[in-house]
Structure 1
């Protein structure tokens, strides 16, 4: 099987980005936290910090004990996204980027005339050089090359940091035996326990397992997909469809009283609404979940007429807020989700509002004209915030909370700065 995939994984990306942007951090242990609080956790650690046992998820207070000289810095998501696009451009200058998979991962399909081992290795060296020249020497990448994307991803993990590994078909499966089960892409804690239950306790036994056994262990076709990928076969991606858009936020102490928390809910709603319109979708449900400071949890969902209108969504948020129990109780966390999404182009508007107005001989404006006006206002707001930032114009319900719930970067989702930037 020919080499067909080249995978690029940026090492300790958030921490490396901070060392790139702040020269005094270079060569020093760095932990990146979402907020500057001892109770927060590190979402990234530099390799200097990892040498002290600090990893993703380490509590900030514990990180300081493990490494007294560590520098804890607050995450700068917008800067990371800007840097990410520069890195994509640097890779693109060497070979076409087939797909960006996350903020720190991307892969390239190798054309048929560029599949000789020496050629692929030279491309990898060119990528590393382009990153250093076009972006900076403090952003390192580990590159894997293999007969399929899954194996290329595994290869990129096996020689970190700043590594390069080529997996040939003749190397399989022995080259993977050095890994732990949890190192395998697609094997989490729960899946590891299921594999143990089927007599698979290491990567060697995983590689030797038959296709039917893996299908049974996974309980789905994912087991078949892994069996094929382990043997170098190219397996097409499973098409996924977006079903919801949402945001959540753990409230700072000053935002926990009901009035301030209500404003945060409106900001989350406006962020989700902007993402909804960016994807060309309409929401048919709105749900809110609250976690109270003194314990307890409440959640509710309402069905709504398919919409992406900012004012309509704001009214739904206020309606759900009034339904919550313990009206005076301070909040710890707020989550909201716009669900049951449909594509805007596939939606047929309801005729009932217009029929009711005609039957009752109402003098007010027809519903379609009112909808058109609201749509025009929402579209104008989106254009302004896209150019000048979300704080330039917003619905009044979010007033006082615009600094709360800043941009976050989740795995597999790279925020669009035109949509997410504050």
Structure 2
């Protein structure tokens, strides 16, 4: 009897050190060496990805590049090549789609797949997962770690257990055998503070957590307690959502040197607004809420937001609002990072513009023409004079 017969068949595919692995693949001289993607050693950025050779030195994502350089000065430091990683991610996505339309990307390098309806065509769930893993290796010369389970929570845990190049199956009848020995920090929602609280009650493993009463957990953590109670028993009813809704589109820039010059900041805002507007139009979306993000030289971060009367995908509008929000921010202290994000997105066109809004219509038509030029001749074929 097939033990999977009455269960969903979910995969979590997670690329191993994705950005760094792509760079090592494309430059064989980097194979087996520590590689850090995020910027040059003297840059102000943070680590986006580190090869497993670099991780041996304690380097991890979100670490300041300067600290990574201190820990491993002989590593190869590379800038982020976002376009290349997106292209490789799309190639991986095509492999997924060959087996199921139920693909939920979480980022460029990981996704959930529901292959419940695919087994009649491609065989058992572990056969499908192994085929995907092998195709990624053979066609793209990259490795992926794959977790297989009856729900998303367990599949994601499984993909992380034996990285890199892992392949872990959690059988539906062995869920507690898999979960119980794991440290309680492996449960979604258990951060540092929650872990400390649990440790105070001598709760160290998932088994310990599972033996707690629901009422006790909800009294201690509120709604999070109910979630912890469910997950400790391997219960997660969330479906794989193949058409995930984009909640926001934004861009930000970390400066090589801290900036307090208003004109220079506005020029950067224009560049970011152009990128955000272009991305919105590619996704056929418009945003109604503009958010400005600023990080000072002491890492203090603040944001300012404004909601428009009408959703927009025009960089001129985004730029104007971002500059207006910048006027609300103190420039007495130098700025390390600045960013612009559009929230409250919609794919619906609003009512017909009135006669008094003809300039807006003209700008939309002009923007369409500029987009066509960029599609045909490249993103850098035409640009704003201020950005030259």
Q: What's the TM-score bracket when you normalise by the shorter of the two chains?
A: 0.7 to 0.9
Offset at residue 135 of structure 1 (A): 1.0
Q: How does 1:127-206 map to 2 (within 5 A)?
A: 127-136=132-141, 139-193=142-196, 195-196=198-199, 200-206=203-209
Residue 378, structure 1, aligned to residue 374, structure 2:
no
Partner of 2:238: 236
Partner of 2:49: 44
* Structure 1 residues 201-252: Cα deviation after superposition (integer angstroms, max 9, x where no partner): 33222233344445555533x6545544554545135998655443332222
Q: How does 1:310-321 map to 2 (within 5 A)?
A: 310-321=315-326
- The equivalent position to 2:59 in structure 1, one of 54, 60, 68, is 54
Residue 24, structure 1, aligned to residue 33, structure 2:
no
Asked if the contact 1:90/1:134 (under 8 Å) is kept, the reply is no
Partner of 1:409: none
Partner of 1:270: 274
* Structure 1 residues 83-113: Cα deviation after superposition (integer angstroms, max 9, x where no partner): 1112222344455552222211122223367
Q: Could you say if the C-alpha distance between residues 261 and 225 of structure 1 is closer, same or farther in structure 2, counting changes exceeding 3 Å?
A: same
Partner of 1:90: 95
Asked if the contact 2:54/2:72 (under 8 Å) is kept, the reply is yes
Q: How does 1:387-402 map to 2 (within 5 A)?
A: 387-397=376-386, 399-400=387-388
Gap regions ≥5 residues in structure 2: 1-5
Partner of 2:3: none
Asked if the contact 2:152/2:238 (under 8 Å) is kept, the reply is no
Secondary structure of the residue that 1:248 maps to in structure 2?
strand
Alignment size in residue pairs: 378
Counterpart Cα distance in 1 of 2:187 and 2:37? 26
Q: Could you say if the C-alpha distance between residues 333 and 98 of structure 1 is closer, same or farther in structure 2, counting changes exceeding 3 Å?
A: closer
- Report which stretch shifted further, 61-70 or 169-178: 61-70
Partner of 2:251: 247
* Structure 1 residues 276-318: Cα deviation after superposition (integer angstroms, max 9, x where no partner): 3444444444343444558987765444331413333333344
Gap regions ≥5 residues in structure 1: 355-365, 401-422
Secondary structure of the residue that 2:60 maps to in structure 1?
coil
Secondary structure of the residue that 2:83 maps to in structure 1?
helix
TM-score, normalised to structure 1, is 0.76
Secondary structure of the residue that 1:390 maps to in structure 2?
coil
TM-score, normalised to structure 2, is 0.82
Kindly name which structure, 1 or 2, has the bigger radius of gyration based on alpha carbons.
Answer: 1
Counterpart Cα distance in 1 of 2:102 and 2:240? 19
Counterpart Cα distance in 1 of 2:108 and 2:22? 12
- The equivalent position to 1:369 in structure 2, one of 355, 358, 363, is 358
- Report which stretch shifted further, 97-106 or 296-305: 296-305
